[in-house]
Amino acid sequence: MPKKNIRILSLDQITELFKELDEPSFRAKQLYDWLWNKRAIHFDDMSNFPKSLRDKLNENFEIHAVEIHDLQISKDKTIKCAMKLHDNFVVESVLIPQKERMTACISSQVGCSLTCKFCATAKLKRMRNLTADEIYDQVVLVKQTAMEKYNQPLSNIVYMGMGEPLLNYSEMMLSIDKITNPNGLGMSPKRITVSTAGVAKMIKKLGDDNVKFNLALSLHAANDEKRNQLMPINETNSLESLEEALNYFYEKTGTRSTFEYIVFKDFNDTTQDALELVAYSKKVKSKINIIEYNPIDGGEFKQTTPERLDNFVKVLEEKGVIVNVRRSRGKDIDAACGQLANKNKLAVIEYK
């Protein structure tokens, strides 16, 4: 029988395990602290455990620790980390340094099952969901990288890396619980944003679960015809259904959603497109992030011109919409939004 990943066990389950092993119950909290707070990656690192207990744990369990396989630093100081998993799959995480914040962009799946036309990750097959501990480890490793490279603490987390977080709902939620727990990283949920391509029923579930973190929707077009072309998921999660789900989410949580809108040249960058976005944003309590397009290999879209981008934003502002323009970071190392595609050799081998 293969050894079980011990970090899938809750504290209560670990307490029961130690009863079965005829070990004192206080050892359960010690183990939990080693796994989530101190992030031990080997049982033999647990120095306050007797060797007999460490031997029992080694015999029956293992720790699926994530490690940094490769690291690239952009000229703008953005850092892309290729994270190697226990089964040799690789996902990518990004550290985005800014004056007022240090943001970790993390992945939730190995590959992706969606087929968004502008995203490099969409060209990869979804191999599996990440577990909560693998998502958590990404944050810990990016946090350590922020301190080592820039001597600044991690301030924000965005679930905007590889994969669709709402299609890995339970593990995504459990990872956030670990990240925000005082026995984990103790981060405020208000500093966490989960980004979705738009899974209406799961957005409603977020509302039912009364989550405290922020929600972002990758919108990119405010009419169904264009959004269907960009994001096939829209064919089963229309703008109308997403409007209903986002309003439900707001009623339950009181949290305003963010629309992410990538502006593509000669596709969704006209005054009419901007007016459609204004009209849709008025239906949902929201704010808008305008994002520069980052070209990908074999992509069919191009970045819009500065003039058309400025005009697009001007139309939104004149209509009283809350809008921010997000400039791309890490484009030279393929670390910008939509560019994560596992180009390192190990990942290429695993994806074949």
* pLDDT above 90 as % of the chain: 81
Distance CA 342, CA 346 (A): 9
Check 81, 112, 119, 337 and give the catalytic one: 337
Contact criterion met (CB below 8 Å) for 287 and 323: yes
More confident residue, 50 or 184: 50
Q: Which residues pair with 110 in a beta bridge?
A: 128
Distance CA 151, CA 107 (A): 24
Q: Which residue has the tokens 């040249």?
A: 265
**How does residue 343 score in pLDDT terms, banded at 50, 70 and 90?**
low
Which CATH class name applies to 67-351?
alpha beta
Quote the pTM value.
Answer: 0.90
CATH number corresponding to 4-62: 1.10.150.530
Report residue 330: phi and psi, to 5°: 75, 25
Closest by CA to 7, choosing from 108, 83, 86, 81, is 86
Residue type, 325: V
CA distance readout (Å), 311 to 67, 69, 107, 305: 44, 43, 33, 10
Distance CA 332, CA 313 (A): 26
Angle between helices 306-318 and 271-281 (to 10 degrees): 40
* pLDDT above 70 as % of the chain: 92
Active-site residue, 337 included: yes
As a whole number, mean pLDDT of residues 203-209 equals: 98
Closest by CA to 74, choosing from 172, 175, 149, is 149
CA distance readout (Å), 161 to 24, 28, 54, 219, 299: 41, 33, 36, 16, 18
Active-site residue, 92 included: yes
How does pLDDT run across 213-252, given as a tens digit for each residue?
999 999 999 999 999 999 999 999 999 999 999 999 999 9
- Return the pLDDT at 323: 94
How does pLDDT run across 127-157, given as a tens digit for each residue?
999 999 999 999 999 999 999 999 999 999 9
CA distance readout (Å), 222 to 26, 63, 116, 255, 279: 55, 45, 16, 21, 8
As a whole number, mean pLDDT of residues 153-170 equals: 96
How does pLDDT run across 72-123, given as a tens digit for each residue?
998 889 999 999 999 999 999 999 998 889 999 999 999 999 989 888 888 8
Domain residue spans of the chain: 4-62, 67-351
Residue type, 169: Y
Check 23, 81, 92, 164 and give the catalytic one: 92
Closest by CA to 277, choosing from 220, 330, 201, is 220
| Phi and psi based region of residue 200 (left: phi greater than 0; alpha: psi -120 to 50; beta: remaining) | alpha
